[in-house]
Structures are given as C-alpha cells and as structure tokens.
Amino acid sequence: MLTYIIRRILLMVPTLFGIMLISFLVIQFAPGGPVERVIAQLTGNDMSASQRLGGGGGDAARQAASTAVEAAQSRYRGAQGLDPQFVAQLEKQFGFDKPAYERFGLMIWNYIRFDFGKSYFRDVSVISLIKEKLPVSISLGLWLTLLTYVISIPLGIRKAMTDGSRFDVWTSAVIIVGYAIPSFLFAILLIVLFAGGSFLDWFPLRGLWSDNWSQLSWHQKIIDYLWHLALPLTAMALGAFATMTLLTKNSFLEEIRKQYVMTARAKGLDESSVLYGHVFRNAMLIVIAGFPSAFVHAFFTGSLLIETIFSLDGLGLLGFESVLNRDYPVVFATLFIFSLVGLVVNLISDLMYTWVDPRIDFEAREV
C-alpha cells in the first residue's frame, strides 16, 4: 500500500501542472484583464463584482485599485487615447511586461513553495484572504458533508430494505420534490418563513455569529454558531440528501438481489447479519467512491449563492468575485488549492476502499 500511496502522490505533480497550464492558457485568450479593469475604474465605466451581485463590498477593491495606479494616474490622458507609457507602466505593475511562458514558470515556482503572492486589487496577500474566508467554507462544507452521510446512508439502507413499501414511496416523493427545488430558491423560502421575511423571525440572516460573540460563554457560542448555520445548511443539504440517499438505496438494492445474499439467507443467517456482514461492505464501495466529489463540492463549489443570500463571506464568493474582477493571483491560487485538496481527498477515498473491503489491493494493479 505504501508503494501505491507514493505513486499516487507523484502523479499529483503532473496532474496539478496540467490543470494550472490549461487554466493559464485559457486566461490568455479571455477578453479583458486587470489592466483593462483598472482603466475602466479610472474612467468610471467599471462595476465591481459585489455591485453586480447587489452587495456593497466593492468599495475596498475599487479604492485599492485606484491606489495601485495612483503613481501612473498623473500621466493619464483621456479614456480613448491612452498614453502608451501609461499602459506600459500598468502592464509592468501587474507583471504583464514579461512573456507568458515566463509568467507561468514564475507562478509555478512560487506555488511549489506555497507562495501565492498578493491580490491585484486588495492590499493583502492571497493566503491571508483565503485564511480570512476559510472559516465560512469549512463550517458549511464540514457540516454539510457530515449531515449528508449521517442521515442519507441510514435512510438509503432503510429504503432498500423496505423497497416498494409505503415508507419507501413517500420518502422517495419527498426526496424527489426536494431535489427539484433549487437550493437558492429554498434559501429564499426559508428566509421568508423563518428569518423575518413575512412570517417568523426565529433565525439570523447574516454571518456566522452574533455581534456580541466575544461576550458569550463557550456553550452560548456553540448555540449561537449553530443558530446561524441552521438555515444555510438546510438550504444546501436539500439536493445533497437526495443524491446520496438514492445512491445508497440503489447500491444496496443491487447487492441484496445478488446470489451470495440469497445463499447467506438460505444458510439461516438473520437479516442483520446478511446486511452488515455481507451486503454493507460491497454496497458501500460506490458510496465511498462519491465521497471526493461530494466533499469538494460542499467545501468549494456548492455555496456561492448560499453565501450571497445569507451574507456569508466564504471561498465560493471570493473565487467568483476574483474571476469577475480579473484578480488572477486569487483565481489561480484558489484553483491550485481546490485541485490539490481534490487530489488528496481522492487518495483518501481509495484508502477507505481498502478499509471497507480488504480484498481490494491497489498495489496489485497498474496505475
């Protein structure tokens, strides 16, 4: 197993390199860029990402961009006919005076040392930005993954064992209806019903904790934290519950109908022994196979609209704003970190395969 782990870790290097190379090439052909955005800001023709979303968080980025070009602003001569020297200075400031291959090589060298540089439009390092947004994403992703597996797996097993029963039919109906409702639409419904929209005012609408967080005792902090997470997690979990529950049910149904299960029952084993001694190990393999994508989705890609609706400033919103604002250091750094986490979680998933079913031997196969 050690050989397989080392081999997989070594394969992460070219995989990460390929992801970053393709993304870098795509960016080279994308219209606009940080230089164009600064020029648009100076001429008053730009709108920040937060403003596009209806928020008010664009002032800091706009002010930082104006500060970044303050030295060059004195040579600015009109919006249509820019002084080439002014444009050249902007390009040098953002590093675009170097050829593309040199910029890519420098970026890879820095990323190897986990040096992600500074944001173009915020006077702060990229790693500091990520650390600042990480608590929100960890809270949403960790609890969503935990709740999804803790609730969906037992429910899926129960549905498989009672396939076709009244319980299976009505739970399937609820799950399908829940899956059909977009999470952001359900989030708005929860706000209207329970967050002071038109009916009840039971839950807060903004942030992960209350303003008086520092004054609360430790058990009050836990309650306050869970109180703030209740609505966002409920909205995000709707689709995740449906997918995982049906995946678990179908996986167990497929195993239950196999010959070895019939043989075990014919030998006189009770249903509990058949289920957990024979079926569980095989049926859980496909559920475990879906863990990496579910984990990465919950942490990084599934919370953008939820973060926006509930005013949670996490990595999803940070990545989206960075793409719109052409803040390339933040874009590439988050992409690098997301990809690295996804590859590591894939490796952990393979190791869990062997824990669930010791008959699986990854070292015996070629990677």
Cα separation, 209 vs 65, in Å, equals 31
- Residues 137 and 116 reside in one and the same domain: no
For residue 16, being part of any structural domain is answered with no
Task: Tell me the mean pLDDT in the region 293-305.
Answer: 67
Confidence (pLDDT) at 57: 44
Does residue 13 carry a pLDDT above 70?
yes
List the alpha helices (DSSP H) in the chain: 2-29, 34-42, 49-52, 58-68, 70-73, 84-93, 100-112, 126-161, 166-180, 183-194, 218-256, 259-266, 271-274, 280-289, 291-296, 304-309, 315-324, 328-356
- 125 phi/psi in degrees, rounded to 5: -70, 155
- Residues 102 and 139 reside in one and the same domain: no
Confidence (pLDDT) at 61: 42
Q: How many domains does the chain have?
A: 2
Those residues whose C-beta lies under 8 Å from the C-beta of residue 111, and which sit 6 or more positions away, are 20, 332, 333, 336
Task: Tell me the mean pLDDT in the region 60-74.
Answer: 42
Task: Tell me the mean pLDDT in the region 80-95.
Answer: 65
Confidence (pLDDT) at 363: 62
Best CA proximity match to 145, nearest among 281, 335, 337, 297: 297
Does residue 172 carry a pLDDT above 80?
yes
For residue 83, being part of any structural domain is answered with yes
For residue 10, being part of any structural domain is answered with no
- Residues 93 and 154 reside in one and the same domain: no
- Residues 232 and 340 reside in one and the same domain: yes
Does residue 79 carry a pLDDT above 50?
no
CATH code, domain carrying 272: 1.10.3720.10
Lowest mean pLDDT of 66-80, 110-124, 189-203, name the range.
Answer: 66-80
Confidence bin at 60 (pLDDT 50/70/90): very low
- Residues 180 and 79 reside in one and the same domain: no
Task: Tell me the mean pLDDT in the region 203-230.
Answer: 83
Confidence (pLDDT) at 58: 43
For residue 82, being part of any structural domain is answered with yes
Confidence bin at 69 (pLDDT 50/70/90): very low
- Residues 319 and 226 reside in one and the same domain: yes
For residue 114, being part of any structural domain is answered with yes
Confidence (pLDDT) at 282: 77
For residue 297, being part of any structural domain is answered with yes
Confidence bin at 17 (pLDDT 50/70/90): very high
Confidence (pLDDT) at 16: 92
- Residues 161 and 266 reside in one and the same domain: yes
For residue 22, being part of any structural domain is answered with no
Does residue 72 carry a pLDDT above 60?
no
- Residues 323 and 357 reside in one and the same domain: yes
| pTM exceeding 0.75 | no
Confidence (pLDDT) at 93: 67
> Quick one: CA torsion of 333, 339, 340, 341, rounded to 10 degrees?
110
For residue 13, being part of any structural domain is answered with no
Confidence (pLDDT) at 271: 74
Does residue 43 carry a pLDDT above 50?
yes
Best CA proximity match to 183, nearest among 246, 233, 244: 233
Confidence bin at 109 (pLDDT 50/70/90): very high
- Residues 221 and 333 reside in one and the same domain: yes
What is the residue range of 210's domain? 132-364
- Answer with the residue of higher pLDDT: 91 or 11: 11
- Residues 80 and 105 reside in one and the same domain: yes
- Residues 356 and 260 reside in one and the same domain: yes
Confidence bin at 14 (pLDDT 50/70/90): very high
- Residues 209 and 295 reside in one and the same domain: yes
Q: How many Cα atoms sit within 13 Å of 213 on the Cβ side?
A: 11
The residue out of 126, 143, 173 marking a domain boundary is 126
Does residue 344 carry a pLDDT above 90?
no
- Answer with the residue of higher pLDDT: 231 or 277: 231
Task: Tell me the mean pLDDT in the region 268-272.
Answer: 77
